[in-house]
């Protein structure tokens, strides 16, 4: 598919979340979580299960069947691949747990409400330098957490979290009533005093849906001068930037859905299933806060991200979203703020 056609797909008008109709997820515009590899590219000893990712030890994962000499490209549909030896270990109930992303119900059927005492968020922090990193599957800006003169922090439900990274997915990973947004931004936080290599099993992610509309100020700051980035050992491209206040990316209304899930990105190890880009492989307890209200980005900003993703090693058909995952019976989704109408 030509890049221009892909850009057009990304900027097609999307229904606002307030206009979602009540329906069960049956597949989206960009991702089909039920799709499995074709038999012609299947590899012996491989098992496929759509709800395995991220909670097994990284050493138990094998590389997916892609790369030179194979017909199957690397991409989101390969991320759930797992070796037969680890297959049983990662099943739900055997340490697998709830995986991310999931489809969210705008009508919040069965969701539990959160009051202000547990649900209200407080943000703090001044200006902090960021490091632009050209990863394998997304565009990311890494902040320096506790090393910052004044780190960006989030306080929610009595705990303080430090912002470490922002990365972008196109199209969105989470959906609402089966509908996707063109872009989803993830703001990854770690507990105070932890780093990506020393974190225990906990992380927190703020997820923001971005729809076509007015140009986004922070998006411009985060993506500025990417073409001028210098190359460092390992092939990662970096550039120091003054990223302003990352929390400008959040919508004015802080209503959200909350659940406990997993990381969604692939590791630096090619197509291996280490859980998370540059993060410790033991992180398997991710607190997700998905904002109900969208922010906007311009059509040109969406086109820029699409073009950027097309040039990365892993995105499949220029997309970088992991397929939706089954919601386990024991998973509780919480809601803070008003139900969308």
**Cα pseudo-dihedral 322, 31, 169, 162, rounded to 10:** -40
Which residues of the chain carry a pLDDT beneath 50? 4-6, 8-95, 227-238, 267-282
Cα–Cα distances in Å, from 266 out to 76, 136, 289, 303? 9, 8, 20, 23
Contact 61, 272 (CB under 8 A): yes
CB contact set of 233 (below 8 Å; sequence gap of 6+): none
Residue 69 pairs in a beta bridge with none
For 136-195, how does the pLDDT look when each residue is reduced to its tens digit (9 = 90+)? 667 778 776 555 777 889 999 999 999 988 888 888 999 999 999 999 999 999 988 777
Quote the pLDDT of residue 102: 92
Quote the pLDDT of residue 155: 97
User: CA 114, 205, 337: angle at the middle one, nearest 5?
Assistant: 25
- Closest by CA position to 245, among listed 155, 133, 123: 123
DSSP string covering 185-253: EEEEEEETT--TTT--SEEEEEEEEEEESSPPHHHHHHTTTGGGPEE-TTS-EE-EEE---GGGGS-SS
Contact 102, 324 (CB under 8 A): yes
The model scores a pTM over 0.75? no
Which domains occur in the chain, in start order? 3-336 (3.10.200.10)
Other CB atoms within a 10 A radius of the CB of residue 305 amount to 25
Residue 167 pairs in a beta bridge with 140, 186
Quote the pLDDT of residue 142: 79
Query: Which helix or strand (DSSP H or E) is residue 3 part of?
Result: helix 3-10
């Amino acid at each position: 598919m030509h890049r221009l056609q892909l850009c057009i797909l990304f900027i097609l008008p999307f229904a606002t979340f307030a206009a979602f109709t009540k329906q069960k997820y049956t597949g989206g515009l960009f991702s089909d979580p039920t799709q499995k590899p074709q038999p012609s590219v299947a590899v012996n000893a491989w098992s496929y299960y759509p709800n395995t990712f991220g909670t097994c030890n990284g050493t138990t994962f094998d590389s997916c069947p892609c790369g030179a000499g194979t017909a199957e490209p690397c991409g989101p549909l390969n991320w759930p691949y797992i070796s037969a030896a680890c297959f049983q270990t990662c099943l739900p109930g055997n340490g697998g747990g709830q995986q991310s992303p999931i489809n969210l119900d705008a009508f919040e059927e069965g969701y539990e409400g959160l009051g202000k005492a547990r649900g209200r968020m407080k943000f703090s922090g001044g200006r902090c330098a960021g490091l632009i990193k050209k990863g394998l599957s997304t565009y990311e800006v890494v902040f320096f957490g506790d090393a910052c003169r004044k780190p960006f922090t989030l306080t929610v439900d009595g705990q303080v979290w430090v912002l470490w990274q922002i990365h972008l997915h196109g199209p969105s990973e989470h959906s609402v009533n089966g509908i996707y947004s063109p872009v989803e931004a993830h703001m990854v936080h770690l507990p105070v005093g932890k780093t990506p290599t020393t974190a225990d099993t906990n992380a927190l992610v703020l997820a923001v849906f971005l729809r076509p509309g007015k140009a986004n100020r922070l998006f411009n700051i985060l993506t500025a001068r990417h073409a001028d980035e210098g190359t460092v050992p390992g092939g990662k491209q970096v550039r120091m930037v003054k990223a302003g206040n990352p929390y400008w990316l959040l919508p004015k209304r802080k209503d959200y859905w909350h659940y406990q899930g997993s990381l969604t990105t692939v590791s630096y190890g090619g197509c291996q299933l280490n859980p998370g880009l540059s993060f410790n492989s033991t992180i398997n307890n991710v607190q997700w806060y998905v904002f109900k209200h969208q922010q906007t980005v311009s059509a040109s900003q969406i086109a820029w991200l699409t073009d950027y993703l097309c040039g990365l090693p892993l995105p499949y058909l220029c997309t970088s979203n992991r397929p939706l995952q089954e919601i386990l019976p024991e998973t509780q989704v919480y809601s803070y703020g008003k139900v969308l109408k």
